[in-house]
Amino acid sequence: MSTDTTDTLVEDPRWNTLGLEALAETAARATLDHLGLVPEACEIAILACDDARIATLNAEFRDKPGPTNVLSWPAENLAPQRDGAAPDRPAAALPGMPLELGDIAIAYDTCAREAREQAKPMADHVTHLIVHGCLHLLGYDHIRPKDAEVMERIEVEILAKLGLSDPYDDHGP
């Protein structure tokens, strides 16, 4: 079994200048650790792409034309029935196999634009989005109001452990 939690496929070479593989590994491990899961026992696939590729995926899987910053495909539906409730825990993996949590795609162009617009370092913004994507894989969402509060609170806690500021703080840097 591999000790890497993330398996990153870099389609857009601009991601290499950011060191996405290391950022993704750190963000995923911090998320899993925070939620009491063993990072070494889990696997998350990450596609590092551009806006054109993520727009195609967004249209195909969400019926939404145009690019977005991050997409997630959980391996299993862990979403709670009740708004604000904790998601289910992932099912145990087969012995000797990693617990496959799902896939995340992240778009360079949109992330870079958002980071500029928000006056944030790109690495901080991308770390937040990987944490966000990992939480989606684990059944967290932000469609219902209480679910959104829970997800945002957990994101802020994880990012604080990584030494990053609250991405939802509108008071500026």
**Using CA atoms, how far apart are residues 161 and 173, in angstroms rounded to an integer?**
18
Tell whether residue 132 is among the known ligand binding residues.
yes
Are 131 and 30 within 8 A, CB to CB? yes
Tell whether residue 34 is among the known ligand binding residues.
no
Nearest to 118 by CA among 166, 77, 155: 166
Contacts for 155 with CB less than 8 Å, ≥ 6 apart? 128, 131, 132, 135, 167, 168
**Residue pointed to by tokens 């500021």:** 165
User: How many CB atoms neighbour CB 18 within 10 A?
Assistant: 17
Burial of 15 (0-12, 13-18, 19+ CB in 10 A): buried
Q: What is the DSSP letter of 87?
A: P
Are 130 and 24 within 8 A, CB to CB? yes
Tell whether residue 171 is among the known ligand binding residues.
no
- Would you list which residues are annotated within the binding site for Zn(2+)? 132, 136, 142
- Would you list which residues are annotated within the binding site? 132, 136, 142
